[in-house]
Amino acid sequence: MLISKKMNAAINQQIGNEFGASMQYVAIAAHFAEEGLEALAAISTSRLRKSASHAMRFVHYIVDAGGKLEIRLSRRQEPPSRTWRDAGRLR
């Protein structure tokens, strides 16, 4: 393995953070689309793709470095927020 176990664990955590952010952007994009706000939905869709892309870069890094991939999305099991009233729950 070309990276330490501590670094491997930190990168795995970041992968989960990036995929979690991506899921949040899916929920936000869906909310905007349901409200007929297609331009805002498109912005959220663009951001979800960027978050997923970041996660995949880390995935490839771990694989290339011979590390162990362990994806954990979040410590909480709640679904992503879908309305602005829920935005205070975001971390």
CA distances to 13, 18, 35, 87 from 53, rounded to whole Å, are: 15, 9, 27, 24
Encoded amino acid at 69, one letter: L
Tens of pLDDT, residue by residue over 20-70, are 999 999 999 999 999 999 999 999 999 999 999 999 999 999 999 999 999
Pair 41, 33: CB distance under 8 Å: yes
With respect to residue 88, please indicate whether it lies within any of the assigned structural domains.
Answer: no
With respect to residue 34, please indicate whether it lies within any of the assigned structural domains.
Answer: yes
Cα–Cα distance, 88 to 72 (Å, whole number): 22
For residue 12, the enclosing domain spans: 5-73
Q: What is the CATH number of the domain that holds 51?
A: 1.20.1260.10
Tens of pLDDT, residue by residue over 69-85, are 998 866 555 666 666 66
Q: Count how many domains the chain has.
A: 1
With respect to residue 82, please indicate whether it lies within any of the assigned structural domains.
Answer: no
Residue 41 CB partners (closer than 8 Å, separation 6+): 29, 30, 32, 33
Encoded amino acid at 3, one letter: I
With respect to residue 17, please indicate whether it lies within any of the assigned structural domains.
Answer: yes
Closest CA to 64 of 1, 21, 10: 1
